[in-house]
């Protein structure tokens, strides 16, 4: 039997691709910017905080990444259309969308009012749906396929005892959106997947990496569920992300890729 005619050269190549990243200034958003930008993609970064966004753009400029910045969140059809127009104006097309925006609000359900719940759903579900809709129209019109990557979580699959009724619900909805669009857009050559991290090192999780007794106790309890035996680092997300944004994943759609050290396997 002869070897299959497989040429892995360029499987993970995203150089020259036009990528929109919403929620770019968050911890995962910055991982996305560094991974795709340093791999040669041209970035349209979007976030609500204009000052933080300009700082990030300056860092990407200094790293010789082609980048344009749009200080908008994916909270409305108007803003999502503006983000897409900005990418097309700057780079002529949209090839990749990564939705890194989102939020959490922790409280027992009996202490959480409907307004707080809806705020989480708006950030995590409505925003993902709105920007995917706007980008999908552009990708379908271009007629050359594309890559959409949502941000899910282990909490889209598993519950949590500490007041995660809004967050778990929102991430389960993102998983459903991923599967639905994966089915709907397959005929257009657009793959739709989600990356689902668990705890990884960031400003928000820095306390879990500390050496005090509380952090050690929480960390030990968490790591008892992680087969690989450690918390995540940003670099642990770069490989799965690049896979989902490149032609290496052309036959993968509607999947939730758990970057969690095996946490959800147990």
Residues identified as active-site: 167
Q: What are phi and psi of 219, to 5 degrees?
A: -65, -45
Structure tokens at 168: 């778990």
SS3 248: helix
Q: What are phi and psi of 20, to 5 degrees?
A: -95, 130
Which residues are within 8 A (CB) of 205 and not within 5 positions of it... i.e. 6 or more apart? 27, 199, 231
For the chain, the residue count is 266
Structure tokens at 206: 């820095």
Dist CA 113 CA 82 (whole Å)? 32
Asked if 147 and 95 count as a contact pair (C-beta separation under 8 A), the reply is yes
Structure tokens at 93: 């097309």
Q: Which residue's structure tokens are 């969690």? A: 260
Dist CA 155 CA 144 (whole Å)? 33
Q: What are phi and psi of 95, to 5 degrees?
A: -110, -30
To the nearest 10 degrees (0 to 180), the angle between helices 165-184 and 127-142 is 10
């Amino acid at each position: 039997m002869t070897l299959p005619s497989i040429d892995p050269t360029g499987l993970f190549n995203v150089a020259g691709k036009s990528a929109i990243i919403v929620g770019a200034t968050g911890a995962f958003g910055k991982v996305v910017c560094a991974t795709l930008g340093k791999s040669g993609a041209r970035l349209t970064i979007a976030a609500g905080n204009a000052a933080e966004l300009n700082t990030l753009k300056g860092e990407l400029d200094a790293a010789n990444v082609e980048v344009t910045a749009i200080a908008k969140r994916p909270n409305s059809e108007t803003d999502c259309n503006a983000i897409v127009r900005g990418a097309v104006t700057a780079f002529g097309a949209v090839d990749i969308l990564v939705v890194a925006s989102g939020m959490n609000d922790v409280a027992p359900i009996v202490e959480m009012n409907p307004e707080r719940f809806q705020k989480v759903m708006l950030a995590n579900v409505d925003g993902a749906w709105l920007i995917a809709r706007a980008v999908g129209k552009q990708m379908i019109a271009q007629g050359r396929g594309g890559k959409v990557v949502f941000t899910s979580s282990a909490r889209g699959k598993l519950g949590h005892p500490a007041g995660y009724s809004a967050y778990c619900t929102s991430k389960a909805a993102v998983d459903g959106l991923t599967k639905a669009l994966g089915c709907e857009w397959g005929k257009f050559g657009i793959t739709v997947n989600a990356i689902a991290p668990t705890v990884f090192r960031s400003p928000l999780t820095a306390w879990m990496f500390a050496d005090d007794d509380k952090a050690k106790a929480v960390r030990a309890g968490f790591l008892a569920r992680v087969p690989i035996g450690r918390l995540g680092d940003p670099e642990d997300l770069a490989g799965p992300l690049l896979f989902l944004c490149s032609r290496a994943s052309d036959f993968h759609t509607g999947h939730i890729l758990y970057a969690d050290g095996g946490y959800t396997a147990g």
